[in-house]
Structure 1
Amino acid sequence: MSLAVLKSRALAGMAAQEVSVEVHLANGLPSFTIVGLADTEVKEAKDRVRAAIQNGGFEFPAQRITVNLAPADLPKESGRFDLPIALGILAASKQIPARRLHQYEFAGELSLSGELRPIRGALAMSLATRRDGGCLAFILPMANADEAALVSNAAIYPANSLLEVCAHFAAKSVESMLSRHESTPLTAVCEYPDFADVKGQVLVKRALEVAAAGNHSVLLVGPPGSGKTMLASRFAGLLPEMSDEEALEAAAVQSLTGNFRIEQWKRRPFRSPHHTSSGAALVGGGSVPRPGEISLAHRGVLFLDELPEFDRRVLDVLREPLESGHITISRAARQADFPAHFQLIAAMNPCPCGYYGHGGIVCRCSPDMRLRYLGRVSGPLLDRIDIQMEVGAVDPAILALDADGEPSAVIAARVQASADLQHKRQGKRNQFLTTREIDQYCKLDQSAKHYLRWAMETFHWSGRAYHRILRVARTIADMQCSDIIHEPHVSEAVQYRRALRD
């Protein structure tokens, strides 16, 4: 036969859509054409495939070769189509049997010698195969086998070279065929810096425990050296254990950048971009949309240190993802959706010199300088941050003592118990409660209602702030195993929004 059709997948954001690789050989002057909205990386496959076929001991047909990557309106990029194109040429020229090719999907970049090199997005492709209800086996490079096999019941057949794949289809005995890769049970080893190292800051630790229990965003405001970065770097160790589905989601995003490592399984991502980062670096972008820091922090922590030093327009792109939990990157030719359920931890100084309100050092900033500095962070963004906590300077007498704080494991156990209670009651963490669910699950007693109304009128907070205070108060009540939200719970939640008061 002069026509061969194989299956592969193209990445479009988190989606991995099915692609038919159609290879046709015809008489005429020798040529090699790839059509189907192929990017430069895909078109360069012509030279890699030719060399790999010849170095594998096969004959490269001196015919008119046309490769169509369907559907034609779906952009194709990267070298993952090298393997199906090479196999299609060999099948169309009858150098390997084509009878079993329809039972598999293929992805892999070829070296000139015919070896298979790892690809980006192997886990996302394996997940897409499961979501589509497909029952096809997946042949891909050996380096991607462990990653792709994380998807339960995935039929993964890894190979080291084009020759091994060809031998699999030409094999007359089982010994010559590729072996199915069996996933090994993984034990999550998550080692984070310990909260026991932090001296003092008891109130801030309490606020971070509440934030971890309910998945609330946090802003830490304090002078230099008060421990803001030290506290934030240990926060991931307080978060509840990741479920298998959450771990797969986070790993799939990491896989899109080629940075996923199997030893990172079920480890909460912790991303800390520099304040010179652009909007595209933070939310994602590019002519071929790639995930940004907020998506790479999916199901983990995004830490923004020196918050006012970020460009204000860059910070404002966080407003929508903080509410929706996903980001849509739109370009003229394509659109890509990425998940962005991250927990924001931000830190900042109270003024440009950093010592406003410090008991021992006199602040050198005028009121106008301080207002301009705080104005770099927009009100709408601050309104979306649940907990805004003041971090005071630590007394030297406390610093001289041995660290005797609670270990992260002890705090994490309380956080896990609270998170389990929330999932049992409503199927989600308190941060994700909708307006209707807040009315259903956040029941206040009479004194709590009066206190919250007084706080709203006194501080002139918005309706969004009202709902966020209720969510935080619900978390505080859950940590005390209380079905009803009482006045002390609301009072504590209100105090967590007053770090930037004048």
Structure 2
Amino acid sequence: MALGKAATTALDGVLAHPVHVEANIGVGLPGIQIVGMADTGISEARSRIRTAVSNSTLPWPKTKIIVSMAPASLPKSGAHFDLPIALAILTAGLTEQEEELGGFGLSGDIVRRLETTLFLGELGLDGTVRPVPGVIPALLAAQNHGFESLVIPPGNAAEAALVPDMPVYVARTLADAFGWACGRRLLPRAGSLAQPTRPEAGPAPCMSDIAGQHAAKHAAEVAAAGGHHLLMLGPPGAGKSMIAARLPSILPPLTTEQSLEATAIHSIAGSPGRVVEAAPFVAPHSSITRASLLGGGSGRPRPGAVSLAHHGVLFLDEASEVAAGALDGLRAPLEEGEVRLVRSRREVVYPARFQLVLAANPCRCAAEDPARCTCTPGQRQAYLSNLSGPLRDRLDMVLRLSGRSAQLHADGEETSAAIADRVAAARERSRARWQAAGLQVHTNAGMPSALLRRRFPAEDDAMELLRAYLATGELSQRGVDRTLKLSWTLADLAGQDRPTIEHVSSALDLRGDAVREEVAA
């Protein structure tokens, strides 16, 4: 009997846990048996792995093979197990050959390299190593659990380059990976193969494309500067979708940490190898289900739209058509910045700190003037009834757009670049303020409310105004907190050190309580 080992990881949300793969060659009929809570996809990979080994002109054992993956209690899924399983079997074959020749097993260098390296990769039938999801979580797991290096497919080199502190090698074929493990070949570093992100084709949408609607564009600037949630109501053609689509153009680039988190989520969701450098913009159709919005699915739950929009914008157009249950599912992520999915006595957590933008018509006939509305009172009342009161209370701004605010020509309109400069300056002020206070907060909207009231209030007369609104019931406690956060954003845009009563008054106007009452009526 001969034993071979290799190491890889199993994904659990955006976390990766080390998995030790052992292959034993013993007496019995030829075949592979895989144990250790592996899913159907891993079990079905047996023929693919054997064919890849044969086409790589590497020796395949002609007896019974048992592959065990520990810890056995951890669910395992994904094609990235192909490469470590193949390497464990091949090293077991080497051990068997040495035993037949009277040797004492593999050399210490080979054993150490296999035990201190994580291997990830899907095998093609010709032995090529294909990109897989979850490389960044694997890198972080390697750092946390004492592994010295990783071997990954070339298609994952760009995302692996985001974590520069860990030696990451690229194997184009199974033969390359096996030769490196045996000390016979050298593998290139991922950093030398990482290609820069290609810009998207065509000109990016710009705020200067929108003629007029200056109040709405100002609200979008405030939302971008503070990461605030926004609901836009207005007739078709007023510019709601155009403003939302151009919101990413005025957001600052992602930091290295943010890019790392966003890239990891998109990789797990099925886009391995793609590096997310700009704020994501996710705009699902209004027929989206709760599982697609929040995440889920059988087996290993997949991240939903809220997680794909992490550190970016989630835009729900025609919000009146989105199922009420799906919209209510947004309440917890908006407060906590993450989604918790419970599956088979396991809890999977995906980050979901996104900026929510909703757009809707005022009613089904979409008449801007109520006098011209052809809807019945019941239809008009029920049109936005899917927006529950608790969800509306979590929106920082509610804005009504008018078709009369549009203009014929967009000549002289401010560009996204000019607005983005002001947004970046405001964010830098807020970041420096929260960092000086020892807080890892990227936006004013993400500031903990209790600390904001206690340590960062507005000026005294401004706080008295908020206290009066709270006492009369015009604002809830959450409404006060969100108004205060909005006031800080207005102060940052104005370059002032503390919100004044003018900033609080402007924040109350942007909250649009009168429009909220119309929606709730």
Q: Which amino acid in structure 2 is aligned with residue 417 of structure 1?
A: A
Q: 1:485 and 2:499 equivalent? A: yes
Cα deviation, 1:431-453, whole Å, max 9, x if unaligned, reads: 11213321244433343234334
Q: Tell me the secondary structure at the aligned position of residue 19 of structure 1.
A: strand
Matched ranges for 1:346-361 at <5 A: 346-357=358-369
Shift of 1:150: 1.9
Equivalent residue of 1:80, what SS?
A: helix
Residues 332 and 265 of structure 1: CA distance in aligned 2, closer, same or farther (over 3 Å):
closer
Partner residue in 1 for 2:124 = 111
Query: Runs of 5+ in structure 2 lacking a partner?
Result: 99-105, 436-440
2:246 and 2:237 mapped to 1: Cα distance?
16
Cα separation, 2, equivalents of 1:403 and 1:88: 66
Query: Paired residue for 1:384, among 394, 398, 403?
Result: 394
Mapped contact 2:458–2:484 kept (Cα < 8 A): no
* CA–CA distance in structure 2, aligned partners of residues 216 and 77 of structure 1: 37
Q: Deviations over 1:444-498 (max 9, x none)?
A: 3343234334444566321111111111011112222223322211111111122
Give the Å deviation of 1:333. 4.4
- The yes-or-no answer on 1:297 pairing with 2:313 is no
* Aligned mates of 1:371, 1:118 — CA distance in 2: 51
Structure 1 residue 226 corresponds to structure 2 residue 242 = no
SS at 2:253 equivalent: coil
Hey, what's the Cα distance between the residues in 2 that align with 1:420 and 1:189? 25
- 2:426 matches 1:411: no
The number of residues matched between the two structures is: 493
Shift of 1:133: 5.1
Q: Select 2:449's aligned residue among 425, 435, 447.
A: 435
Residues 199 and 404 of structure 1 are in contact (CA less than 8 Å); yes or no, is this contact kept in structure 2? no
Per-residue deviation, residues 150-188 of structure 1 (Å, max 9, x unmatched):
21222111112111222223455xxx3222232569589
Consecutive unaligned residues in structure 1, runs of 5 or more: none
Matched residues in 1 for 2:338 and 2:64: separation?
45
What's the offset of the Cα at 1:373? 1.0
- Tell me, in whole angstroms, the C-alpha distance in 2 between the residues paired with 1:187 and 1:274: 27
Q: How does 1:68-79 map to 2 (within 5 A)?
A: 68-79=68-79
Give the secondary-structure state (helix, strand or coil) at the position aligned to 1:488. helix
Asked if 1 retains the 8 angstrom alpha-carbon contact of 2:209 and 2:410, the reply is: no
Q: Cα distance, 1:201 vs. partner?
A: 0.9
Q: What TM-score does the superposition give when structure 2 sets the normalisation length?
A: 0.90
Superposed counterparts of 1:176-187, under 5 Å:
176-182=185-191
- Whether 1:266 and 2:282 are equivalent positions in the alignment is no
- Which whole-Å deviations, capped at 9, do the CAs of 1:371-423 have from their partners, x for residues lacking one? 11121211110100101111111456x22x34321111111111111111111
SS at match of 2:191: coil
1:493 & 1:460 partners in 2: Cα distance?
A: 14
Q: Paired residue for 2:103?
A: none
Given residue 383 of structure 1, which amino acid in structure 2 is its aligned partner? D
Deviates further, 185-194 or 318-327: 185-194
- Distance, in Å, in 2 between the alignment partners of 1:7 and 1:187 is 30
- Rounded to whole Å, the distance in 2 between the matches of 1:177 and 1:449 is 65
In 2, are the aligned partners of 1:241 and 1:416 still within 8 Å (CA)? no
Tell me how far apart the structure 1 counterparts of residues 129 and 461 of structure 2 sit (CA, whole Å): 68
2:478 — aligned with what? 464
Q: Could you tell me whether the CA contact under 8 Å between 1:124 and 1:253 is conserved in 2?
A: no
Residue 380 of structure 2 corresponds to: 370
**Contact 1:200 1:394 (8 Å CA) reproduced:** no
Give the partner amino acid of 2:430.
Answer: Q
SS of 2:383's partner is: helix
- The 8 Å contact of residues 461 and 501 in structure 2, kept in 1 or not, is answered as yes
TM-fit CA distance, 1:331: 0.7
Larger mean CA deviation between 431-440 and 308-317 belongs to 431-440
State the alpha-carbon separation in 1 of the partners of residues 77 and 403 from structure 2. 52
Aligned mates of 1:380, 1:478 — CA distance in 2: 28
* SS across alignment from 2:46: helix
1:279 and 2:297 aligned: no
Whether contact under 8 Å (1:23, 1:92) holds in the other structure is: yes
Matches of 1:232 and 1:41, distance apart in 2: 40
Q: Deviations over 1:3-25 (max 9, x none)?
A: 11211001111011100001111
CA contact (8 A) 1:51 1:113 kept: yes
Q: How far 1:72 sits from its partner (Å)?
A: 0.5
- Residue 212 (structure 1) aligned to one of 206, 221, 224: 224
Shift of 1:286: 0.9
Instruction: Please identify, of 476-485 and 65-74, the stretch whose mean Cα deviation from structure 2 is larger.
Output: 476-485
Query: Aligned residues: percent identity?
Result: 39
Structure-2 change in CA distance of 1:171 and 1:18 (3 Å): closer
